[in-house]
């Protein structure tokens, strides 16, 4: 499935079909989802979960969460680097290693 528009709704990420304008799938993520980064090359979607200081990693082909790594307190920024297969997360909490 090609990645299209993404919307965060409460604890659910909704994958919207741009042509039909309907929800085609929902994916439960962590507590207080805040921001999304999309890696179109590797078909991965990253959602910061501010409530539990994690990032949900979603496989865009299967719409399933494949990992939920812990990050710093209250993640407030995220970006994906497709060529390095990395994400970078900025956190609002105390300086702490991830």
pLDDT at 19: 72
The whole-number pLDDT of residue 96 equals: 58
Q: Which residue has the tokens 């919207």?
A: 16
Give pLDDT, residue 82.
92
Domain-by-domain residue ranges, the chain? 6-82
pTM: 0.77
12 backbone dihedrals φ, ψ, rounded to 5°: -125, 140
Instruction: Identify the pLDDT of residue 93.
Output: 74
What is the CATH architecture assignment of 6-82?
Answer: Beta Barrel (2.40)
Question: Which residues, 6+ apart, have CB-to-CB distance to 65 below 8 Å?
Answer: 27, 28, 29, 56, 57, 58
- Please give the pLDDT value at position 26: 85
Which parts of the chain sit beneath pLDDT 50?
1-12
């Amino acid at each position: 499935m090609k990645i299209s528009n993404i919307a965060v709704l409460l604890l659910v990420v909704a994958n919207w079909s741009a042509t039909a304008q309907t929800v085609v799938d929902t994916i439960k993520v962590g507590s207080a989802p805040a921001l999304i980064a999309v890696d179109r090359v590797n078909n991965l979607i990253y959602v910061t979960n501010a409530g539990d200081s994690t990032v949900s990693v979603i496989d865009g082909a299967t719409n399933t969460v494949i990992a939920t790594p812990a990050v710093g307190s209250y993640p407030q920024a995220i970006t994906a680097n497709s060529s390095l297969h990395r994400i970078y997360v900025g956190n609002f909490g105390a300086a702490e290693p991830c």
